[in-house]
């Protein structure tokens, strides 16, 4: 299974992406993510990365960033590993998704802002 998902709160779809995606599974993961967002039509997508992502997993994150931007959907990324947060903050567009250390932190940020962009957490956090 490339990803798992569950609905949390109102209009928030939480998707856990396996960090060890191969290039061969990248397209399948991207398609599965697109199908989930089409089926649930959430206002907010929280993409959780539990470990250090492969280049293919980073590609899925970048595609999700672009897709959510085009659809007016708020994307938030949860990177459990500090190295992954640093990698993403250094490589995602400046107007891209917020990157958080925990799912609870991401959900709290969505509650506080109603899904509007907020300043990034301090580096290393």
> Looking at residue 1, what is its pLDDT?
75
For the stretch 73-124, pLDDT in tens is 999 999 999 999 998 988 888 888 999 999 999 999 998 877 665 555 555 5
| Domain annotation covers residue 83 | yes
Most distant pair of Cα atoms in the chain: their distance:
38
| Domain annotation covers residue 15 | yes
Total domain count, the chain = 1
| Domain annotation covers residue 123 | no
> Looking at residue 16, what is its pLDDT?
96
CATH number for position 52: 3.30.750.24
For the stretch 10-62, pLDDT in tens is 789 999 998 788 999 999 999 999 999 999 999 999 999 998 888 899 899 99
Please, are residues 40 and 6 in contact by the beta-carbon 8 Å criterion? no
| Domain annotation covers residue 54 | yes
Judge whether residue 68 has pLDDT over 80: yes
pTM for this one? 0.87
Note down the domain range covering 97: 3-113
- In order, the DSSP letters of 64-123 are HHHHHHHHT-EEEEEESSHHHHHHHHHHS-TTS-EEESSHHHHHHHHHHHTT---PPPPT
């Amino acid at each position: 299974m490339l990803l798992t998902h569950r609905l949390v709160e109102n209009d928030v779809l939480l998707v856990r992406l396996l960090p060890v995606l191969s290039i061969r599974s990248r397209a399948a993961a991207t398609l599965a993510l697109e199908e989930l967002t089409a089926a649930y039509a959430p206002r907010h997508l929280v993409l959780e990365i539990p470990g250090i992502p492969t280049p293919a997993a980073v590609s899925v994150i970048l595609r999700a960033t672009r897709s959510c931007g085009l659809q007016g959907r708020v994307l938030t990324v949860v990177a459990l590993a500090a190295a992954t947060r640093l990698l993403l903050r250094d490589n995602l567009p400046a107007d891209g998704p917020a990157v958080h250390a925990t799912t609870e932190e991401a959900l709290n940020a969505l509650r506080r802002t109603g899904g509007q962009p907020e300043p990034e957490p301090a580096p290393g956090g």
